[in-house]
Chains A and B, each alone.
Chain A
Amino acid sequence: MRRRTRVGEALATIRRRGCLSVVLVFLLAACSTDSPSVLSPEGESARRIDRLWWLMLWISLAVLAVVLGLMVAAIVRRGRRDVEVDRTTPPWGDPFIVIAGVAVPALILIAVFVVSLRDLDAITEQGDASLTIDVIGHVWWWEVRYPGGAVTANEIHIPTGETVRFRLTSDDVIHSFWVPELAPKIDMIDGRTNVLDVRTDVPGTYRGQCAEFCGLQHANMAFHVIAESRDEFDAWLQNEAEPAESDTETASGLDVFLSSSCVGCHTIRGTDATGTLGPDLTHMASRLTLAAGTIPNSREDLARWIEDPQSIKPGNVMPPTELSEADLDALLDYLETLD
């Protein structure tokens, strides 16, 4: 699913090296390059966080080594239960505690604090953005709105090499917008708008997922960010902003859509379907997944989803739709033209 360029390959090698050191450090941990990993950063912010992590990890390992070393020393010179109690106080005791237990930790922590503040500053202020995208969280999917009227769901295209500004909010409970490979996460809260700047130079598909518990289907609330060159992006956005094309061959499918319960919740721009409870379906055929990353966007999966969404994602807002086989086929034919 991951599209990768030459630059991407080069970075993947670095990531595998990073992955290797994780293996060395962390027992026999298997690292998969398919993971939406904080440790395989492809965005500017994520890269800073990755560097901060490695800095803190090495410091932590050094501290852990000192502690374990002292513990081993204590164990090596262990005694027996009937050893006489030692009532002397070693002269090095208090200075040791002040130096090792107060002064050195304070110096290390101040240093890390300063580095982390610098990173926080860099992540928060990234200058002017070339594009602002609104993302609205719903139980349990993502509404994505572009300037110029393009509306999509659960999939966000961005241009590479530019700072993209996300304006994030929620329509109901709190969600959290997290694309580990690109940026830190930030919450989406009804009544507030949070801003997250994202910039990546590496084209690819990056998985994101809701990171704030948001109820029954919090587990199935994923999305994808597709980073592509400015030209590809412009072409995509232009297409996305246009209304759906009508086609006489599939007109019967549109009729099914308009005469069933679908129309109550979904919009297909350019038709009479203007529902707003569910995702905008104007260009749904171009998307990678259905139901916010829950199932692939294939004809069979789409059919299952329309007929029995509750078995795929129990508790979600979409009701089952009973259709005759002919109607379902017509509907699927039609929906597949919406690219």
Chain B
Amino acid sequence: MASYAERLELVWHEGTGLSAWAGTVDHKRIGLRYLYTGFVFFVLAGLESTLMRVQLAAPGLEVLSPQTYNELFSMHGVTMMFLVATPILSGFGNYFVPLMIGARDMAFPRLNAFGYWVFLAAGVFLNSAFLVGQAPDDGWFNYLPLASEQFTPTLAIDFYALGLIFIGISTTAGAINFIVTILKLRAPGMTLNRIPIFVWGELAFALTVVFALPVLTVANVFLELERKFGFHFYDADGGGDPVLWQHLFWFFGHPEVYLIVLPALGLVSSIIPTFSRRPMIGYTYIVLAELFIFVISFGVWVHHMFAVGLPTIALGIISAASFMVVIPSGTQIFAWLATMVSGRLVLSTAMHFVLGFLVLFVIGGLTGAMFSAVPFDQATTDSYFVVAHFHYVLAGGAMFPMFAGLYYWGPKMLGHLLDERLGKISFWLMFVGFNLTFFPMHIAGLLGQPRRTYTYASGLGWDLHNLLSTIGVFVLGAGILVTFWNWFRSRAHGEPAGEDPWSGDTLEWTTTSPPPEYNFTTIPTVRSREPAWDQPELIGGAQPPEDGGRPLTDGHTTLATTLADADPQAIVHMPHASPWPLFLTLALMLAFYGVLLSSWMVAAVGAVASAGTLMGWLWPRGETQET
């Protein structure tokens, strides 16, 4: 067996040094990069919101200028949606999808590296707007005509539109990679009904991205054509319609909300069985619910537009669809509850975050259901009630699972256990701070406070709620910092994690922590939905060949299987490390800055360089085609 590992080590080791660093295609290194970069942007967006809360601590404060405030709330939203939530959940997916399905890497490792680099470049591109003092200032929703050349003549909106087109390349590349990986690289025996729910969540996320993101890209291309070349897509005076932007934006924007929550729910679904000490009850219902959410999420966009003045019949239909989307969320919640009640709960830190998530997500879901009722939506939309609602759903529904993921999978990624005591302190600070920040916003909204306002008048009964929110954000921030401290301290000094600190049920727990570059010494044959519980011979990530393990030591390969039944189908040659994805990213970045500044020569150079690097990337070398 050791000889397998030695031979794999020779084939799979990427080496050290700059070229390995810049060229790595290891899904685990890329996954960690997504996580670290995502959390850097998370801190940035958190600081933006802290500044906003300081400005709003009392009526009439002048801590921030109106312009700065508007830039901060716009960039807070853009950053959290595009540079934090999606990348962090993709990071978990990148790291754990191949491990959970028993593959040696993602299906397209270089595309995977490219996705990360583009995410980083687009994040830098968007935030470089602050350096020139022209950060996007019309909200993450960027409504026209406010975002038109006439009303926002600075580069702010060009940064926004081009930045989102840019990052869309990353998200789309990642999504396609997830879909192919999940459908084609599963270990033999991992039939559709044995796929871990987290992997289903990433699949639903990826499918949503593929259908939703092109709409945002089109909307932003239209916007840039209008701003730079005088087209009239959104210009009422030129025969266009500003409401078109809203349709396009929310046709993307609502699925975007679900594509953030879907992998987060999947994460929760993979933690609950481990800490309930029993398999998930209602596996099939949960998977169907996730797929149902993916489908129905494309039918609810108008509920962001109930106050636009659309025909009543349209409101009624979308209202019905919005009520419907509550059901699959409820199904999952009750499946989790059934599993927890019938099992024996282990109250680890990760489980604390899951339970906290459950409370917040249910509250956010209930207020979300209220917004399906058109008259109530019309009364409270664009008030602080909405701000409260979507922070419960998105921050409660995605941030808490992310932290649960850090505590659950951290030991696997670091090889060290995180401190459970610090983890629980962090959880309680975050949970209390979160509710202190966002719960009063429900009331402020009902009391008539509109959102996106840099200040408010005194004497309207909003002062106390705003002060509480401001205090809360510091408590929440302290809780977050405790986890960061815990992470880095444990990384250096934590107890060794061993292969399986939680007695988990899925394949990632059968290999070492952290896993070797080739993940598994032998690609396992799976005979159960909870292989780590039912197949003791998997231990060490080296299922013996007589039990079905496949070493595949001849070359840099992994195994492709059939879509539904996961029967072995082909041996796939995987590409080695390559700097070309990074070069292509840099060329694209040049092109985007060229378009931003309307320097068409620079844009042309960037475009030609992109084509050139793409050729370099695809140029055939050696005996195997590497793509």
Contacts and interface: CB of A to CB of B under 8 A. Distances in A.
B323 A34 contact: no
A30 B462 CA distance: 9
A174 interface: yes
Given A38-B380, A79-B344, A31 B242 contact: no
Nearest to B311: A124
A38 B448 contact: yes
Nearest to B435: A27
Nearest to B347: A78
Interface in A94-120: 94, 96-98, 100-102, 105-106, 109-110, 112-113, 115-117, 119-120
Interface string A225-240: 0000000000000000
A101 B323 contact: no
A172 B145 CA distance: 7
Given A184-B379, A218-B452, A73 B341 contact: yes
Interface stretch (B33-41, B312-320, B581-589): B312-320
B128 interface: no
Nearest to B345: A78
B450 A209 contact: yes
A67 B335 CA distance: 11
B345 A79 contact: yes
Interface in B271-302: 276-279, 281-282, 285
B387 interface: no
Contacts of B381: 185, 211
Nearest to A89: B281
A173 B146 contact: yes
Given A29-B440, A190-B236, A218-B453, A184 B344 contact: no
Contacts of A48: 375
Given A117-B319, A187-B308, A38 B379 contact: yes
A102 B330 contact: yes
A67 B145 contact: no
A100 B326 CA distance: 13
Contact of A93 (B281, B362, B442): B281
Interface string A172-185: 11101010110011
B502 interface: yes
Tell me if B's interface is mostly helix, strand, loop or mixed.
Answer: helix
B536 interface: no
Given A90-B342, A217-B66, A116 B374 contact: yes
Contacts of A219: 66, 453-456
Contact of A113 (B279, B330, B347, B373): B373
Contact of B307 (A64, A181, A186, A195): A186
Contacts of A293: 457
Contacts of A190: 145, 236, 242
Contacts, number: 308
Contacts of A195: 309
B625 to A, nearest CB: 44
B277 A83 contact: yes
B450 A97 contact: no
A78 B66 contact: no
Contact of B375 (A45, A60, A77): A45
Interface string A147-158: 000000000000
Nearest to A116: B373
B382 interface: yes
Contacts of B139: 213
Given A38-B448, A79-B346, A217-B66, A191 B439 contact: no
Contacts of B241: 191
B482 interface: no
Interface string B522-552: 0000000010010000000000000000000
Give the residue among B278, B319, B378 with the most A Cβ atoms within 10 A.
Answer: B378
Nearest to B346: A81
Contacts of B372: 109, 112-113, 116
B129 to A, nearest CB: 17
Interface in A41-90: 45-46, 48-49, 52-53, 56, 60, 63-64, 67-68, 70-71, 73-75, 77-90
Contacts of B281: 89-90, 93-94, 97
A296 B426 CA distance: 47
Interface string B455-472: 111011110110000000
Interface residues of A, number: 102
Contact of A75 (B138, B345, B461): B345
B366 interface: yes
B66 A116 contact: no
B145 A83 contact: no
Given A121-B312, A184-B375, A189-B243, A37 B337 contact: no
B464 A97 contact: no
Interface string B437-452: 0011011001110111
B312 A124 contact: yes
Contacts of B309: 186-187, 189, 192, 194-195
B334 A96 contact: yes
Contacts of B448: 35-38, 178, 180-181, 207, 209
B333 interface: yes
A67 B281 CA distance: 16
Nearest to A36: B448
Given A74-B341, A116-B375, A180-B448, A67 B151 contact: no
Contact of B460 (A32, A89, A98): A32
Nearest to B385: A38
Contact of B277 (A75, A84, A117): A84
A319 interface: no
B220 interface: no
A32 B460 CA distance: 7
A123 to B, nearest CB: 6
A192 B341 CA distance: 54
B53 to A, nearest CB: 15
B66 A102 contact: no
A26 B443 contact: yes
Contacts of A178: 382, 448, 450
Contacts of A315: 66-67
A216 interface: yes
Given A56-B370, A211-B450, A26 B439 contact: yes
Contacts of B342: 86, 90, 93
Nearest to A112: B373
B277 A71 contact: no
Q: Which 4 A-B pairs have the closest CB atoms?
A: A32-B461, A79-B344, A191-B236, A184-B378
10 contacts: A31-B447, A37-B446, A75-B347, A96-B334, A101-B331, A101-B333, A109-B372, A113-B372, A117-B316, A185-B378
Given A189-B309, A220-B455, 8 more contacts: A48-B375, A68-B359, A70-B337, A70-B340, A78-B347, A80-B344, A98-B285, A187-B309
Interface of A: 22, 26-27, 29-39, 45-46, 48-49, 52-53, 56, 60, 63-64, 67-68, 70-71, 73-75, 77-90, 93-94, 96-98, 100-102, 105-106, 109-110, 112-113, 115-117, 119-121, 123-124, 139, 172-174, 176, 178, 180-181, 184-187, 189-192, 194-195, 207, 209-220, 222, 293, 314-315
